[in-house]
Structure 1
Amino acid sequence: MTGPDADLSNGPSAKPLLSVLKGACPAVPPMWLMRQAGRYLPEYRALRAEKGGFLELVYDSAAAAEVTLQPLRRFGFDGAILFSDILIVPYAMGQDLWFETGEGPRLAPILSETALDALKPDFSRYEAVYETVRQVKAALDPQVTFLGFAGSPWTIATYMVAGQGSKDQGAARRLAYQQPERFAAIIAAITEATVVYLSGQIDAGVEAVQLFDSWAGSLAPLEFERWVIQPNRRIVERLKAIHPDIPVIGFPKGAGAKLADYAVGTGVDAIGIDETVDPHWAHRALPEGLPVQGNLDPLALIAGGKAVEEAVDNIRAAFAGRPHIFNLGHGILPDTPIHHVEALLAYIRRRKGT
């Protein structure tokens, strides 16, 4: 993907995506898609049916490695994203975790009703994920960057407090306002468990990590500073002390105008932006030279054709001259046509004038 017209001021790299995370500006942006390993692929659906459930698939390291590799074989993305789930962290912190068919994840006991110290952490629940990392690493093309991930503390806390997802994260927001010291203790415990988890992924072989804050957009500005920026800064600082050369991507979905504060306040190496953000505004607002990732609307990918091409052209024009990883603004949707993904890759990778 990098070539003779790439900016190699940071040195040539056999891994285009990793080089962008470290500041390179190739003529063609490297690409991966959030949730690229998943339900839109028939090979994933077949394996999921064979294993009988989502958590069973995650905890079968060989199967999870296979799922991680499936989209690489089909599409040749520049990045592989570990197949797992953000709720492995509360599971390791001592909550029970299961998935209700058609309804999503459940956690118990819920922390709106149970004291944090009632949970009995068991970090051995991370080991199957680390084994998945080792198996993927052994099979991965050397040009592909391997990404690990975790949920950010605020997003994880919303599930731990309520026991499930919600539209407005109301239970966690109420607890944070009414009992801030209690909520701070929950956030601190998640932060510690997340550092352990991500450090273990890095030791097992991932080359960069992403912090997903799916519910960052639900917080008022002061709460955003307290429960999004500060905990993520602590994670970045702790990881950098242990693994100084591993890039950290922050993805605060819904942050909007708070993106610049997030970028500066957390110290992340790159920032993912969701599909609601104007990329031209983001380029102006974010620190100069900070790598960005995003931000095609997943629904535009479903539409395909002219809708995708116009959006791609707008995003690439906005980030011309800035280190940029092309991605969606959120996860790929289950009804995305595979040939639309193939067309997107072809469109991204074609050279101007050819």
Structure 2
Amino acid sequence: MHSVSPDRDKIGAGARPESDRPLLAVLRGERHDPPPIWLMRQAGRYLPEYRALRAEKGGFLALCYDPVAASEITLQPIRRFGFDGAILFSDILVIPQALGQDLWFEAGEGPRLAPELLDGDLSGLVADAQILTPIFETVRRVVAELPAETTMLGFAGSPWTVATYMVAGQGSKDQGATRSLAYRDPVAFQRLIDAIIAATVDYLCGQIDAGVEAVQLFDSWAGSLAPDEFRRWVVAPNRQIVDALRSRRPATPIIGFPKGIGEKLPIYAAETTVDAMGLDETMDPVWADSVLPKDLPVQGNLDPLALLAGGDGLAAAVRGIRAAFPRRPHVFNLGHGILQQTPVSHVAQLLAMIRA
């Protein structure tokens, strides 16, 4: 595991004073009891204040590029719950937009991108990295208002997952179009992956320069690949991003979150050298604790449906996860994003259990 220096560089840190931020400390390898907590998608549709703002402002993508609205949404769960981390309100598909694809969201159906890149050819697109500038302004606005103890988290999609949307023009159950392209024309697909890597590194550096203190790489579809393809299209690109960020912004911890990889977990951890591993809800935390390096921080891995259910089932799940990591640095989180139907009271119940 790469050891992140506790002496944070001042690039993008602004005037926010140094303080004891438990989440940042754990990502640097310290253990805290109780563990710090944040939730994937903690800023969003389960909150009535988010729904009210969206009704006033309009569509999801417009919110992502509106620094005033996006910073307010990022801060809403911090004000309500006092999470230890604030996660930037944005979307992984802003990178395809920066690379020149059109992006929109169909009501009830999810994202759409055009043109589809079924041959992996980017040559017809006109890249425009400036489209991401409002997102950096969102970060600056959030950091200016965050409590001193709260860590500012940024993120990006990992190249494989981003590529699956770029190639097919939308999400899919098996990522078949993208997997086929990778087998059929790996040279062309590698060019697409390389373009995503370069854009992602610049994007994450921009977030860090604006004040982000740790970043997460989301690889939602990492579990769809055969072993050799997994190493080529998930492990290698993420390692390139990690190496580039270590070179350019060495003080920033990097969380890897490859969903659905099962027994490939130790391979991903060892070969990407991320600073912390996010575990999805299907991962046995006791097994994960046994196969990962003993000092590697982990994050996760409560089933979002357990949080939706609440009550005794939630309490039992929380106890099991905490017991699985008796000595390891641990950030409590979900195994994937919070569900829209989750009662706010269940989130309050979760925090009360963690912080008791």
- Distance 1:114-1:271 versus aligned 2 partners, 3 A rule: closer
**What corresponds to 1:140 in structure 2?**
146
**What corresponds to 1:312 in structure 2?**
318
Q: SS of 1:131's equivalent?
A: helix
Mapping of residues 204-243 of structure 1, within 5 Å? 204-243=210-249
Q: CA deviation at 1:27?
A: 1.5
Mapping of residues 311-330 of structure 1, within 5 Å? 311-330=317-336
Identity of aligned residues (%): 67
Mapping of residues 81-230 of structure 1, within 5 Å? 81-113=87-119, 115-230=121-236
Match of 1:291 among 272, 288, 297: 297
Does 2:77 align with 1:71? yes
How far, CA to CA, are the matches of 2:236 and 2:54 in structure 1?
37
Q: Does the 8 Å contact 2:296/2:329 carry over to 1?
A: yes
Letter matched to residue 345 of structure 2: H
How far, CA to CA, are the matches of 1:153 and 1:124 in structure 2?
20
Q: What is the aligned length?
A: 341
Q: Does the 8 Å contact 2:26/2:331 carry over to 1?
A: yes
Q: Point out where structure 2 has 5 or more consecutive residues left out of the alignment.
A: 1-5, 8-17
Runs ≥4 residues deviating over 3 A: 10-13
Q: Does the 8 Å contact 2:119/2:188 carry over to 1?
A: no
How far, CA to CA, are the matches of 2:328 and 2:120 in structure 1?
47
Does 2:353 align with 1:347? yes
Q: Does the 8 Å contact 1:147/1:210 carry over to 2?
A: yes
Higher RCO (C-alpha 8 Å, min separation 6): 2
How far, CA to CA, are the matches of 2:75 and 2:128 in structure 1?
28
Q: CA deviation at 1:13?
A: 5.4
**What corresponds to 2:288 in structure 1?**
282
Does 2:266 align with 1:260? yes
Match of 2:59 among 34, 48, 53: 53
TM-score, normalised by the number of residues in structure 2: 0.94
How far, CA to CA, are the matches of 2:107 and 2:267 in structure 1?
38
How far, CA to CA, are the matches of 1:151 and 1:71 in structure 2?
22
How far, CA to CA, are the matches of 2:301 and 2:120 in structure 1?
39
How far, CA to CA, are the matches of 1:59 and 1:235 in structure 2?
24
Q: Point out where structure 1 has 5 or more consecutive residues left out of the alignment.
A: 1-9
Q: Does the 8 Å contact 1:13/1:19 carry over to 2?
A: no
Does 2:312 align with 1:336? no
How far, CA to CA, are the matches of 1:17 and 1:278 in structure 2?
23
In angstroms, what is the RMSD of aligned CA positions? 1.2
**What corresponds to 2:15 in structure 1?**
none
- Distance 1:75-1:325 versus aligned 2 partners, 3 A rule: same
How far, CA to CA, are the matches of 2:315 and 2:88 in structure 1?
28
Q: CA deviation at 1:51?
A: 1.4
How far, CA to CA, are the matches of 1:271 and 1:101 in structure 2?
33
Q: Does the 8 Å contact 1:112/1:171 carry over to 2?
A: yes
Q: CA deviation at 1:115?
A: 2.1
Q: SS of 2:336's equivalent?
A: coil
